[in-house]
Amino acid sequence: MFNDLADFAVKYALKKGADYSEARLESTTSNRFILKNGIAEASGFDKINGLGIRIIKNKTLGFTSTNNLDKEKIKKLIQNTINTTEKASKLREEINLSEENSYKDKYEVKQKINLNDIGPEEKIKLLFDAEKELINTKIKIPSRYLSLSDSTTIEYLTNSEGTNILATVPRVSFFYLLTVEHDGKTSQRIWQYGQSGGFEFVKKWDIPSIVVNEVRALQNNLKFGVKPPKQALDIVAAPQVVGIMVHESGGHPYEADRIIGREGAQAGESFITKEMLGTRIGNKVVNVVDDPLLENSYGFYKYDNEGVKARRKYLIKEGIINEFLQNRKTAYYMGLKSNGSSRSVNYDRESIVRMSNTFMLPGDYTEEELIKDVKLGIYMKNFMEWNIDDKRINQKYVGAESYLIKNGEIKEPVIRPVIEITTPQLYEAIDAVATNMEYHAGSCGKGEPMQAIPVWFGGPSIRLRKIRLGN
């Protein structure tokens, strides 16, 4: 690492007239292994070393980055950025940052089994083991794509207000795409596992069981699935489904930069306005939080990329819109303090308002109790296709592994039940929340250029009353 270069950049920018400067130095090493239809497609490793600098001059924001870690080059880039902010100041959005404490700290996500102690051979063997188990099921699986990745990021963040944070975060992830065929029909699932920490989590996941369970469920659905009923019914949505629902319609619309309009041309805006804080969006059993501090989570951090201490944010509290995700700029604009939601995926991206680990808090019931109280319904264990409009109102989730519920009992599989619903309808229809928490990993997309950032989304099982399924 070249921490002194980041320190130098911050000081040099001030010397050249910046009112605020911030530098983020990143060093990431990563490995990836791909097994396609039983064949080792490729292995690879990548390395990133680079510096990103944010400057505010005359309330104008400039960002520059380079992976040429040379002092003279950095000086030139800073000077250019100062000049550009001067020219842009005629048309600039006024940038003010909320006042925050500055921290000097160092933290590291510990690894029980260090990623570097496991050779490529052992990593790819895990995928081969999974492949073998898939073949042993005798299920027709025409396409099998498995990929295992790990990375270690060391980042040093410093700014002109005295922040110095050194963070080391290793991450592991497993991705699969499986196509199952039965009687000429196919069904597919794409899913991902991800955590921060060492190789112990990859072992704990038990990749062969994950994929075998998946193909068995897909085949069972293709073989025995019935069409979903047409009348209004109840839905018990399991943690995977709740996780994506909460991420899409309980997390994204609470991003303050979307509410203000900064993402307008990209991921869009939000149906939520500042004036809606304190108003009801759903049933009082609904509590949605975003929490970067969950240990070994995929979206883990202790300080955000502006050096603000991370904390749990209650986005929806007992059905009421409670808090937005803020960075220092949006917080100042709304007359608040930042709640530590500023993230950038790499050194060469500006930090923007992001989720970390977004989930619904558990309630008082067991999942069995939710099911027991349903006369006619659907148990939706997981999903395939989903999407939501760019204001976060109109959303759709298509069930993958799903079953009929009749008189409180889970019965035969159901083919592709579709929940097509608005956000207020969804959160108002939740009448009971279970205790069975699960977290799932994903890459959340936002920003331009795109910043696909690691997050967890999750929750317990929930029950939705009187839903009419879509087509």
Partner 1 sequence: MEPEEISSHILNKLLKAGADDVIVSVSKQESSQIKFSNNLINATKTWENIDLGVFMALKKKIVLTNIKELSLSAADDVVNKLLKFVKSASPNKEYAGIAKGPFSYKEVENGYDKKIASLGDNSIDYVEKAINKALESGAKRTAGVFENSLTNVSLLTSNDVKTSDKGTHSYFSIRAFNNKFASGQKTGFSRIINLLDVEKLAEEAALISKQSLNPEHGKFGKFDVVFETLPFANIIDNFGGAMSAFSVETGLSCLKNMIGKQVANKKITVIDDGTLKNGFNSSKFDAEGAPTQRNIMVDNGILKTYLHNTSTAKRFNTKTTANAGLLSPEPTNLIVKKGNFSKQELFEQVKNGLYITNVWYTRFQNYNTGDFSTIPRDGIFMIKNGKIGQPIKGVRITENILNLLKNTVALGNKPERVIGWEVETPIITPAVLVKDVNITRPVD
Q: What residues numbered 217-276 form the site for partner 1, per CB under 8 A?
A: 260-269, 271
Does the footprint of partner 1 cover residue 321 (CB under 8 A)?
no
Output 88 or 210, the one with its CB closest to partner 1: 88
Contact pick of 4, 80, 101, 105 for partner 1 (by CB under 8 A): 80
Token pair 């396609």: residue: 36
The residue ranges of DSSP E strands in 201-329, in sequence order, are: 233-237, 288-290, 313-317, 320-321
What single DSSP character describes residue 308?
P
Contact pick of 247, 302, 416, 440 for partner 1 (by CB under 8 A): 416
Does the footprint of partner 1 cover residue 168 (CB under 8 A)?
no
Output 124 or 336, the one with its CB closest to partner 1: 124
Dist CA 55 CA 171 (whole Å): 30
To the nearest whole angstrom, how small is the minimum distance from the Cβ of residue 295 to partner 1?
A: 30
Contact pick of 3, 66, 192, 366 for partner 1 (by CB under 8 A): 66
H or E stretch at 427: helix 423-429
Give SS3 for 435.
coil
In this chain, which stretch among 1-9, 74-82, 159-167, 368-376 interacts with partner 1, using CB under 8 A? 74-82
Output 1 or 293, the one with its CB closest to partner 1: 1
Output 108 or 385, the one with its CB closest to partner 1: 385
| Contact present, 400 and 218 (Cβ < 8 Å) | yes
To the nearest whole angstrom, how small is the minimum distance from the Cβ of residue 25 to partner 1?
A: 13
In this chain, which stretch among 61-69, 102-110, 435-443, 452-460 interacts with partner 1, using CB under 8 A? 61-69
In this chain, which stretch among 76-84, 159-167, 284-292, 435-443 interacts with partner 1, using CB under 8 A? 76-84
Name the nearest CA neighbour of 26 among 240, 260, 344: 344
Output 16 or 36, the one with its CB closest to partner 1: 36
Residues 325-384 that bind partner 1 (CB under 8 A): 348, 350, 384
Contact pick of 15, 435, 448, 452 for partner 1 (by CB under 8 A): 448
Residues 382-401 that bind partner 1 (CB under 8 A): 384-391, 393-394, 396, 398
Residues 82-111 that bind partner 1 (CB under 8 A): 83-85, 87-88, 90-93
Question: 368-371: long-range contacts (C-beta < 8 A, 24 or more apart)?
Answer: 369/432, 369/434, 370/236, 370/432, 370/434, 370/461, 370/462, 370/463, 371/236, 371/405, 371/408, 371/409, 371/410
Output 42 or 226, the one with its CB closest to partner 1: 42
Name the nearest CA neighbour of 381 among 392, 390, 370: 370
Residues 173-202 that bind partner 1 (CB under 8 A): 177-179, 186-188
Does the footprint of partner 1 cover residue 468 (CB under 8 A)?
yes
Strands 342-343 and 352-353, sheet pairing:
antiparallel
Q: How many CB atoms lie within 10 A of CB 95?
A: 20
Residues 14-43 that bind partner 1 (CB under 8 A): 34, 36-37, 39-43
Q: How many residues bind partner 1 (CB under 8 A)?
A: 87
Contact pick of 106, 135, 435, 470 for partner 1 (by CB under 8 A): 470
Contact pick of 24, 25, 65, 193 for partner 1 (by CB under 8 A): 65
To the nearest whole angstrom, how small is the minimum distance from the Cβ of residue 77 to partner 1?
A: 7
- Tokens standing for 305? 């990329």
Strands 233-237 and 376-380, sheet pairing:
parallel
To the nearest whole angstrom, how small is the minimum distance from the Cβ of residue 420 to partner 1?
A: 5
Does the footprint of partner 1 cover residue 415 (CB under 8 A)?
no
In this chain, which stretch among 79-87, 103-111, 167-175, 337-345 interacts with partner 1, using CB under 8 A? 79-87
| Contact present, 134 and 141 (Cβ < 8 Å) | yes
H or E stretch at 396: strand 394-399
Q: Which residues of 39-48 are buried (b: 16+ CB within 10 A; e: fewer)?
A: eeeeeeeeee
CA 440 centroid distance within chain: 9
Q: How far apart are the first and last CA of the chain?
A: 55
Dist CA 248 CA 341 (whole Å): 17
Output 187 or 240, the one with its CB closest to partner 1: 187
To the nearest whole angstrom, how small is the minimum distance from the Cβ of residue 366 to partner 1?
A: 29
Output 173 or 195, the one with its CB closest to partner 1: 173
Output 29 or 436, the one with its CB closest to partner 1: 29
Partners of 52 in beta bridges: 24, 65
The alpha carbons of the chain give a radius of gyration, in whole angstroms, of 24
| Contact present, 190 and 146 (Cβ < 8 Å) | no
